[in-house]
Amino acid sequence: MKGKEVPYGITGRILIDMKKRLYLYVALDIIVATILGSQITVQKGIMKPISIIAVFLMLYPMMIRLAVEKLRSSTKNYKLLGASLLYAYGIGPLIAYAVAKLMLEPFPELYAALILVGTIPCSNMLIGWSGIAGASVEDALIVAVIGLLSIPFLSPLLTKFLLGSELQIDLLKLFLALLLYILVPLILGYYTRNLMIKRKGIEYFNSLKIVLPGLSSLGILLIVFIASLKAAKIIIQYPIVIVMIIISLLSFYVIQTILALAGLKILKFKYETGFIFLLAAVARSQAISLAVAATFFSALTTLAISFKPILQVAYILMLIYPMGNWLKRYMR
């Protein structure tokens, strides 16, 4: 089988559709798991190994697609890289902290969710969104990879500091977990990608990689299902929790957008790089934050982060399409 002859079948079509409409699948996932979870009692010991499998399923296919080797031949835009990292690890976490303090302080589990959203920036999805928006994919690749490699070293410190006494967390364990979640799939993904290209050819890989985001989506859906199953009784008893999660996340995105738009104007970024800066500010990691929440925090914290794919995808699509022409004029 070569190139475009790779058969997807019904499974491949479903995986591609899951990637395109992840927000709908997540919403359906939460509804089904909540209904089921209201009727049964979930054994905690059973869910742990399933969560670990889900984390690997979520991260490994994502890393296969990430062409880390292109970094060596890419022209570095240090202004964009520095500004994006400063925003992602400086301003973004502070905004998350401010919104959490204002809206979620009486609810430690939801508070922790928003802190995780703020301290773990977006990685490979930055590349895909940049391509869709017509921004510089080469610059997006550099920002995404450097940002990804920075997560194990910066995110644990920021998370520990911003959580303060709200929730106790083992800093060393979080650091080691993030190293495991990022470096192991990254290394395996790198060698899988190279081996596949060497044995089957680049056309085969390019055809096959279309379904890889769908496999990552399966991992996300599995984690969301487990979290919703475990938190079902809380959701049904206190539906206001869902409203609080949605309002706090939307507030975070809107404030991020406003400040990023002001920042890119000051830095005089044109659209091709300015949109990457905007994405780096607004978009946050879905997979890695879910992995950390599922490992270190409660089901309710994980569930709160589960709403991020629904809101974030819709919000970024709004930036690209309804607001796209205005943003191009603004960054002219």
Strand partners, 194: none
List domains and CATH numbers for the chain. Answer: 3-330 (1.20.1530.20)
CB half-sphere exposure, 186, CA atoms < 13 A: 19
Q: Sort residue 295 into left (φ over 0), alpha (ψ -120 to 50) or beta.
A: alpha
> Is the Cβ–Cβ distance between 220 and 309 less than 8 Å?
yes
Neighbours of 209 (CB within 10 A): 14
CA distance 166 to 144: 30
Q: Could you give the C-alpha distances from 299 to 156, 245, 308, in angstroms and in order?
A: 20, 14, 15
Contacts of residues 31-34 at CB distance under 8 Å and 24 or more positions apart, as own/partner, are 32/225, 33/224, 33/225, 33/226, 33/227, 33/228, 33/229, 33/232, 34/228, 34/229, 34/231, 34/232, 34/235, 34/236
Cα 135 → chain centroid: 19
> Is the Cβ–Cβ distance between 241 and 300 less than 8 Å?
yes
What pLDDT sits at residue 66? 77
- For 72, residues 6+ apart whose C-beta sits below 8 A from its C-beta are none
CA distance 120 to 296: 14
CA distance 230 to 55: 17
Residue 104 is classified by DSSP as T
CA distance 299 to 87: 29
What pLDDT sits at residue 41? 76
Q: Indicate the SS3 state at residue 284.
A: strand
Angle between helices 22-37 and 212-237 (to 10 degrees): 40
Percentages helix, strand, coil for the chain (3-state, rounded to 5) are 80, 0, 15
pLDDT tens digits for the chain (332 residues)? 444 444 467 888 888 888 778 888 888 999 999 999 888 876 666 666 777 788 888 888 888 887 776 666 556 789 999 999 999 999 999 999 999 999 999 999 999 999 999 999 987 678 878 877 889 888 888 898 899 889 999 999 999 999 986 577 888 999 998 888 888 888 999 999 999 999 989 888 888 888 888 888 888 888 888 888 888 888 888 889 889 999 999 999 999 999 999 999 999 999 999 999 999 999 888 788 988 998 889 889 998 998 887 888 889 889 988 999 999 999 98
Taking alpha carbons only, the member of 175, 225, 215 closest to residue 192 is 215
> Is the Cβ–Cβ distance between 89 and 121 less than 8 Å?
yes
What pLDDT sits at residue 54? 83
